[in-house]
Amino acid sequence: MAILKTITELNPGDKGTIEAIDPACSLMTRLQELGLLPGTPFEFIRRAPWGDPLEIKVRGSHLCLRKDEASFISVSI
């Protein structure tokens, strides 16, 4: 059974699947354009000092997300 979390709750090396982006996120369309779509696998790479931003690898690209943006992204691991 998959465990649902937000990207902000993950640790380096965790892998999972994007489940949803909260529609309340003002950057939802931009995140989708970057490839963060439901069903897309990703890997959590690292967290910068002081916890912000977060780096993930998705579709072969490394993306850095601010912690507040990442909190809107639900994932299963």
Contact 32, 51 (CB under 8 A): no
Give this prediction's pTM: 0.90
- Please tell me the predicted confidence (pLDDT) of residue 72: 94
CATH 3.40.50.300 fits 4-76, yes or no: no
| Integer Cα distance of 1 and 12 in angstroms | 21
C-alpha separations of 55 from 18, 37, 64, 71 in Å: 15, 17, 4, 13
The one-digit pLDDT tens for each residue of the chain (77 residues) are: 678 999 999 999 999 999 999 988 888 889 999 999 999 999 999 999 988 999 999 999 999 999 999 999 999 99
Enumerate the domain spans of the chain. 4-76
Phi/psi for 37 (5° steps) reads -115, 150
